[in-house]
Amino acid sequence: MLRLLSCLVAVSVTASTEAQVSLRYNPSVTQGTVIRTEAEIETSQTLTIAGMPLETGANNFATIVTTIGPSTATGGYTATGEYEVLQADLSLPGGMKVAFNSNNPDVEPDNAQLAVIVDMLRAIAPAKWKLEMGADHKVLSAEYTGGPITGVSDIFKNDTDPERLKDRSNNEVSRYATEPVNPGETWTRTENHDLGSGQSFELDTEYTYAGPEEKDGHNLEKVTVKIHSAVLHVADNPASPAKVTESDLKVDSSEGTLWYDPEQNLYIETEQKFRVTGSLTLSVNGMELPGELDLTMKSKSKSTVKAP
């Protein structure tokens, strides 16, 4: 009987181990490897102040090209990045609109008040950057090649800080499972979602390994995503005329899917959507204004890897 039980335990452990898969971020770091990512973020927001709804929307698209460089003496490697395409379509209260395309960057906005936004996009679009990575693929340092980005209003200074490149890259790496997982197993992360202009969400996010699945002719690993909570953080920005001083927000709905390619060892396709609602207080020229926020964010991306 004991022998039978031990055999059953051995079979059970073996089966469990065989079902486990690695979902670690571990792409090829051979010098000259190129990772090309197309990313789109769509935002729809209604901010109601004193009973007046202020509606804004944004649809941003970028193609980012990352090229793996030489290895470092510490066991890591370097990488360079640049925008192949940068597009932004914004709709603001009062019917004002901004449309920017890096392929035709000299188009002026209809409203001169929006020139600061276009100037910021013009300055960022041609930017190139260099990252020093550790052996764990985390960014150790980031810098814009050619020096800091200039010609940007102080309102957007936070967006051109190289530390944002570091934070965003490390946030993406943190989404991966660090240990082998079985179908149905979960892992959680506390992530920083950059909203721009010094604003960010701290998101409590749960990932679940759904199992292997064929998609578009490829054998991939499916991961689902659910955000449980969102806390708004606002960095001090003296140049901004308004500042959020208090907020009480909740996640109304959340869904997402990540597709992991076991050959490339990274997510090659992602799609996510979440809605946040709640109250906040704005400080404008010393006046405290209570408001209600209803924000929906959608994002999707596709990545391809080209060997040297």
> Is pLDDT above 50 for 87?
yes
Q: Where residue 238 falls among pLDDT bands split at 50, 70, 90?
A: confident
Cα dihedral across residues 38, 33, 264, 193: positive or negative: negative
DSSP state of 121: H
Q: Where residue 110 falls among pLDDT bands split at 50, 70, 90?
A: confident
CA distance 203 to 295: 14
Mean pLDDT of the chain: 92
Task: Compute the average pLDDT of residues 74-99.
Answer: 96
Residues 6+ apart with CB under 8 A from 117: 90, 98, 100, 109
pLDDT tens digit string along 156-206? 888 999 999 999 999 999 999 999 999 999 999 999 999 888 889 999 999
Q: Where are the domains of the chain?
A: 25-306
- The pLDDT value recorded for residue 6 is 44
CA distance 27 to 263: 9
Tokens 């193609």 belong to 63
CA distance 7 to 153: 70
Residue 308, both tokens: 């040297």
Residues 6+ apart with CB under 8 A from 16: 182
| φ, ψ for residue 212, nearest 5 deg | -75, 150
> Is pLDDT above 50 for 13?
no
Q: Any idea which fold 25-306 has?
A: Lipovitellin-phosvitin complex; beta-sheet shell regions (2.30.230)
CA distance 169 to 185: 25
**139-144 and 186-196 as β-strands: parallel, antiparallel, unpaired?**
unpaired
The Cα angle at residue 161 between residues 34 and 228, in degrees rounded to 5: 80
pLDDT tens digit string along 135-150? 999 999 999 998 889 9
